[in-house]
Structure 1
Amino acid sequence: MFDKSMLNDLARHLAESVPTDLFKLQDDLEKNFRAILQASFARMNLVSREEFDVQAAVLARTREQLERLQLQLDELEKRIADR
């Protein structure tokens, strides 16, 4: 999920980039920018760095376990073939 404070900062930055003669619209624009950004990021199925790191660690442990199981399977197949 996208960091909400980062999203708010980005929306605020976009609203602040509006020319000063449209300053009265800045709050409305910021709200609109925030809504557009949230919808866009939701469609992208983004994850936080923390969630990514957790999933990467899970994948690494799973890969290690798979390699151990593959070695055990190879050993068992060898034993059967040697009979």
Structure 2
Amino acid sequence: MINPAKIEEIAKQLTENMPQGMKNLAENFEAKTKQVLQNKLSQMDFVSREEFDIQSQVLIRTREKLVQLEERVSQLEAKLKPE
């Protein structure tokens, strides 16, 4: 999932770069920006890199097993064929 600390960092940088007179407005802007970003990002269908890597490994193992099973089925079919 998206790292909330990264969203916090982006919002903080936006606030720090605003003129001093707009700090109160900036605080409100920061809170609303974080809320909107978190809401929109949570609606998206993202997976973490860790989840992606895990699923990639599962897929590789599944493909390997499928190849083994296909070979085994071919061997069994060959034994069952009358010659």
Whether TM-score is above 0.5 comes out as: yes
Q: Which residue of 1 aligns with 2:3?
A: 3
Q: Which residue of 2 aligns with 1:64?
A: 64
Distance 1:26 1:73, change over 3 A: same
Q: CA deviation at 1:82?
A: 4.3
Q: CA deviation at 1:35?
A: 0.9
User: So what's the TM-score if we normalise by structure 2?
Assistant: 0.80
Identity of aligned residues (%): 33
Over residues 21-74 of structure 1, what are the superposed CA-to-partner deviations in whole Å (9 max), with x where a residue is unaligned? 422212221111111111111111211111111111111111111111111111
Q: Aligned partners of 2:68, 2:3: CA distance in 1, in Å?
A: 37
Q: CA deviation at 1:4?
A: 1.6
| Regions of 4+ moved over 6 Å | none
Aligned pairs for 1:18-33 (under 5 A) are 19-20=18-19, 21-33=21-33
Q: CA deviation at 1:16?
A: 4.2
Distance 1:71 1:30, change over 3 A: same
| Counterpart residue type for residue 50 of structure 1 | E
User: So what's the TM-score if we normalise by structure 1?
Assistant: 0.80
In structure 2, the gaps of 5 or more residues are none
- The structure whose Rg is larger is 2
